[in-house]
Amino acid sequence: MSEKLYITTPIYYVNDIPHLGHAYTTIAADVLARHYKKKGSEVFFLTGTDEHGAKIAKAAEKMGKSPKEFVDELSPKFKKTWDKLNIGYNQFLRTTDPKHEEKVLDFINRLKKAGYIEKRKYEGLYCVDCECYYTENQLVAGKCPDHGTLPNKQKEENYFFLLKKAAVDFDLAGKISNDEIRVMPESRKNEILGKIKVGLEDVSISREAVKWGIKFPGDENQTIYVWVDALINYYSATKIFPSLDGWEEHPADLHLMAKDILWFHAIVWPSMLLAVGLPAPKEVFAHGFFTIDGKKMSKTIGNVIDPIALTEKYGTDVVRYALLREFPFGEDGDISEEKIAKRYTNELANGIGNLLQRTLVMINKYGIKPVRSQSKILGDTVIKKIEALEFMEALDCIRQMTDVANEKIEEGRPWELAKEKKQVELTRLLNEVYKILVDIADNLEPFMPETSERILDQLETLKPEPLFPRID
């Protein structure tokens, strides 16, 4: 029996340079995808780039390029980063793909037909960098809470998605509260329910002023709001990729993102789906934001870390490990290169790496023939943690096994057993340690696929080679 699982990351704004924030979400999604594939599920893991809107048009103009030229140049940077990080996505969607554009039109037409779109006059405060309107209350000292810039007063006649009506018609609050749409972590669920209670506003889903976008069906003067175009990627992807069979209109099992865009994923998107008669996503999980060295990651501060440079210095698997290991996935936390270097030395080089070396050296020296057994020591514990998205805790369980193995060696004193010619005890002890190493490799696989393979390979050939060499 194979279960079908549809996992997504956000599609990232193509004009951003792929940074550690993007990498964080994408690595987490990849760990889940690998984990479920290993378990035998059929996984569809989607990521991509968000390529329309005023922000991108503006950035293209600044570079003296047409928007299309500009996005064509930038989108591959994301693919390259994901390749470096060994991200095994199944599909990479670009919102400028004509096939996506066509499905967006279909979706908007379905919304129209279902009676959830209305044309209205609108005036509001718009932040171009966020591509969204803010109410006075949401601004901080009159400025955008994210960018600290003054929003523009914008007056338009737009099409609106009747969010308020959809939320009531389909009992959005009820579905979230009984976990039919599971919003995670729990604290975020309460936050979202609180927002619904306070009252929802209908969403303007077209723009007159924005030219770089998909034309609104039936109105040449408007383009579809970039956020709506972007959300629909989760739907269009299931319809446009020929390699996918039987995924049409499959609801997402898990939308992963950071808390900044939870509102769109937990309120707007499910309401849009329900309004057209499609099932809502099953789970929406918002992880925290991280700071770099205690500071918000920003181009102005100059503390944006390039994931590719990090993989070149420490190795792909180390970056994957270090990011998920540092703090609990649903919470905010801090990352720095120093922290990554510390994990590298303490947990990887001196931990797993050293255990593997010393074990293989002893096995060779004492002429032990290890037996490969299938028994799982960690299995269920780690699986449960991965499936609960408790990556830090899962990695800690795996790390603790190196302590257990090292203690076994310290207590069992194989060098003394060898001196005393106690071959039975010696064989038993080193086999136990060997088994733990097999188990560590097995459990590390979704997190550190290459390292896992290298450990298993060394265990098979009994040829020790440093897994994590010293870095200067």
* Residue 19: active-site member: yes
Which member of 6, 13, 45, 133 binds ligand MSP (CB under 6 A)? Answer: 13
* Residue 132: active-site member: no
Q: What minimum distance in Å lies between the beta carbon of 159 and ligand MSP?
A: 19
Q: Scanning residues 34 to 63, which ones bind ligand MSP (CB under 6 A)? A: 50
Give Cβ neighbours of residue 210 (< 8 Å, ≥ 6 apart): 53, 54, 57, 223, 226
Nearer to ligand MSP, 41 or 291 (CB): 291
Nearer to ligand MSP, 264 or 434 (CB): 264
* Residue 144: active-site member: yes
Chain position whose Cβ is nearest to ligand MSP: 21
Binding of ligand MSP by 21 (CB under 6 A): yes
Q: Scanning residues 328 to 367, which ones bind ligand MSP (CB under 6 A)? A: none
Binding of ligand MSP by 391 (CB under 6 A): no
Nearer to ligand MSP, 24 or 160 (CB): 24
What is the sign of the dihedral through the CA atoms of 399, 401, 403 and 409? negative
Choose the stretch contacting ligand MSP; rule: CB under 6 A; options: 143-151, 187-195, 253-261, 428-436.
Answer: 253-261
Q: Count interface residues toward ligand MSP (CB under 6 A).
A: 20
Q: What minimum distance in Å lies between the beta carbon of 299 and ligand MSP?
A: 12
Binding of ligand MSP by 10 (CB under 6 A): yes
* Residue 342: active-site member: no
Q: What minimum distance in Å lies between the beta carbon of 272 and ligand MSP?
A: 11
x/- contact string, 287-306, with ligand MSP (CB under 6 A)?
A: --xx------x---------
Among residues 147, 211, 342, 384, the one annotated as catalytic is 147
Which member of 6, 16, 74, 340 binds ligand MSP (CB under 6 A)? Answer: 16
Which member of 6, 7, 12, 205 binds ligand MSP (CB under 6 A)? Answer: 12
C-alpha to C-alpha distances, 27 to 24, 87, 162, 316, 318, nearest whole angstrom? 5, 7, 35, 11, 12
* Residue 265: active-site member: no
Site residues (vs ligand MSP, CB under 6 A): 10-13, 16, 21-22, 24-25, 50, 230-231, 233, 257-258, 260-261, 289-290, 297
Question: Known catalytic residues?
Answer: 19, 22, 127, 130, 144, 147, 296, 299
